[in-house]
Amino acid sequence: MVLGLGTGSTAKHAVDRIAELLHQGKLKNIIGVPTSKKTHEQAVSLGIPLSDLDTHPVLDLAIDGADEVDPFLNLVKGRGGSLLREKMVESVCKKFVVIVDESKLVSHLGGSGLAMPVEIVPFCWKFTAKRLQELFEDSGCVAKLRTCLEKNQPFVTDNGNYIVDLYFKKDIGDLKVASDAILRLAGVVEHGMFLDMATTVIVAGELGVAIKHKQ
Ligand SMILES: O=C[C@H](O)[C@H](O)[C@H](O)COP(=O)(O)O
């Protein structure tokens, strides 16, 4: 089985558990495809055999966390900065299982008041950020360059790009329309809306675990 290995504080537990099962002999013939440099390092340190999309362009399963999950299992991802590699890997998985706690459930993506990340090229980033903000003027959008807290320098992704976080005051409307509009802007590499990609979402809550399947 070729398995996409997600990124973030939740996915980290899944990667640890996969390694544990592998070493106990309860999982066999697993090859992992990491979605970030950090997960790559974690998987190497745990002895999980690894590959990449050049060698394995189709994956059987990916397991990852998310920042927001709507009732249709659309996601916001990338608040940890790994959205591009995650989207590349998770868009070619036969099954994409998302693991979250119930704090990540929202009624509309972008409605939580938290960041909707967009990965952009560093060249004239202010110009691209301004164009992104203008695109969602009607939704009261504010676009902010993500910085590293300790140095107040731009946060740089694993791909050498910057991230602009979009904050909305109002509903962004049709998600597919919003996604297409963002991707049409020159300077944008990818955004953190993962539409129609998750096949299953496993939600941990105070009362136990709920499993939601795509309809
Ligand atoms: O870039 C980060 C990824 O998209 C994460 O999967 C997402 O931010 C969720 O992370 P966490 O499990 O740490 O909340």
CA 84 vs. chain centroid, Å, equals 7
CA 63, 67, 73, 74 torsion-angle sign = negative
In the chain, CATH 3.40.50.1360 covers 2-102+195-206
Cα distances (angstroms) measured from residue 210 to each of 146, 171, 202, 206: 33, 27, 6, 11
| Tokens 């140095």, located at residue | 151
Q: Ligand 1 pocket check: which of 5, 13, 67 to mutate, most ligand atoms within 8 Å of Cβ?
A: 67
- Sign of the C-alpha dihedral computed for residues 198, 200, 204 and 210 taken in this order: positive
189's tokens = 């590499």
Torsion, Cα 7 146 199 18, to 10 degrees, reads: 10
Considering the candidates 20, 41, 86, 150, report the single residue annotated as catalytic.
86
At 42-60, the pLDDT tens digits run 999 999 999 999 999 999 9
Cα dist. 198→40, 147, 180, 191 in Å?
A: 22, 29, 19, 16
CA of 210 to the centre of ligand 1 (A): 19
Q: Which CATH number fits domain 2-102+195-206: 3.40.50.920, 3.90.550.10, 3.30.1490.20, 3.40.50.1360?
A: 3.40.50.1360
- State yes or no: pLDDT of 149 exceeds 90: no
Q: Give distance in angstroms: CA of 92 to centre of ligand 1.
A: 19
- pLDDT band at residue 150 using 50, 70 and 90 as cut-offs: confident
Tens of pLDDT, residue by residue over 67-112, are 999 999 999 999 999 999 999 999 999 999 999 999 999 999 998 8
Mutate to test the pocket of ligand 1, among 5, 7, 69 (most ligand atoms within 8 A of CB): 7
CA distance 39 to 82: 10
Task: Report d(CA 209, CA 133) in Å as an integer.
Answer: 38
Architecture of domain 116-190: 2-Layer Sandwich (3.30)
12-22 pLDDT, tens per residue?
Answer: 999 999 999 99
- Tell me what pLDDT residue 151 has: 76
C-alpha distances in Å from residue 15, one per residue of 99, 101, 209: 12, 17, 19
**Mean pLDDT taken over the chain:** 96
86 is catalytic: yes
Query: Ligand 1 center to residue 11 CA distance, Å?
Result: 8
Rounded Cα distance between 110 and 107, Å, is: 9
Site to substitute for ligand 1 among 35, 74, 79, most atoms within 8 A of C-beta:
79
Nearest to 6 by CA among 112, 16, 119, 113: 16
Supply φ then ψ for residue 116, to 5 degrees.
-110, 105
| Index of the ligand 1 atom closest to the CA of residue 6 | 6
Q: Whose CA is nearest to atom 10 of ligand 1?
A: 8
How far apart are the CA of 165 and the centre of ligand 1, in A? 14
| DSSP H/E element including 40 | helix 37-45
pLDDT band at 152 (very low <50, low <70, confident <90, very high): confident
> Residue 150: exposed, middle, or buried by beta-carbon count in 10 A (0-12, 13-18, 19+)?
exposed
Residues of the chain with CATH 3.30.70.260: 116-190
Residue type, 156: V
ipTM passes above 0.85 = yes
The whole-number average pLDDT for the span 29-49 is 97
Nearest to 210 by CA among 106, 108, 102: 102
For 168-200, how does the pLDDT look when each residue is reduced to its tens digit (9 = 90+)? 999 999 999 999 999 999 999 999 999 999 999
